[in-house]
Structure 1
């Protein structure tokens, strides 16, 4: 189990303003890059999936695509450990999706239940326990679409004391630190392969993929960095 020397906040503490692009432009930039990877692949895999799980949902990226393609929302489970984050998807629950408050690493859901699992910016739970749960939940031939901030950006931006946390400065001036594990590509691949999954596709997204202004946290010495900012993975179960 992961341990931390720093006292961490929960996502309940930041849920109210998490999607405020003016207050948290880095999140907004990461969301855009994550969506650039996920949206076309959700569109590809969702029509054939009879059961879809979105992990760490917050404001769902899956449900709008399912609805737009006139697919049954009853096939979709939206899971988040934070009740307040899950409130961002409350309307999808009213329209037929299942909303579930649970830990991403121990969901309590039946094994081999899903053809498609989606996680946008899954660094709060990106460890071996999560990937073991993905392997347990996926049916044979199933796919997990996963995005994470890139290790190269994390190593360049974060100091040693904040290597495994993300910092949010809230509207009231308070600082909230939440868990954020961003392993190297080699370590990520080992975690995936170690639980009987395999990496089918990987895409690196940099600032060139962004349409709007960059957060200062994505600039280095005042200039746009060519380093990857978000990495997208398509992981499959044999």
Structure 2
């Protein structure tokens, strides 16, 4: 049974989500403090964390950054509805995706399942061998990537995005296709999640000798991993 940790100081709402998700087949624990949530998230007992951006003892983004120092566990953040700043800060801090509050338990469960599906092996077609795109190698089953033979430190969503680009190296991949395959949901209007994740991946890849990024933005179309 998949174990989920909810870190949220809204006792009533967290209890509602816990009850719904348990009825939906998940095992759920709840904590209302950021520091205790951080410790539990790093315990190795959970497959996914739901983290509120506003907590009484410490900011949710700070909790997330501390988690990311030690773990790649998928993190879904609660953000204020309509607050783009919260969403971007959460994504830049290492969140895999976000859900604006208030949201329905059904929507939350759907987001969880989408993230969990993408953390599992996604391509039987490549077998046990790596996907190779120039200096980039990706082992889908192991959820491992290397760049110039150095292991990459990627969040779950960053891995999904880079994997999708590598499987389509040299071809433009639309933002909607990336959202569907990496986040498990259609791209929403004005949603900048893909752009923020791509910015983080670019920083980790660095630049080519001529100063250009290995991931090119094709305005109005999408992104392209260039061939070496």
- Shorter-chain TM-score bucket reads 0.3 to 0.5
TM-score by length of 2: 0.33
TM-score by length of 1: 0.32
Query: Which structure exhibits the higher relative contact order, with contacts defined as CA atoms closer than 8 Å and separated by 6 or more residues?
Result: 1
**Structure with greater strand percent:** 1
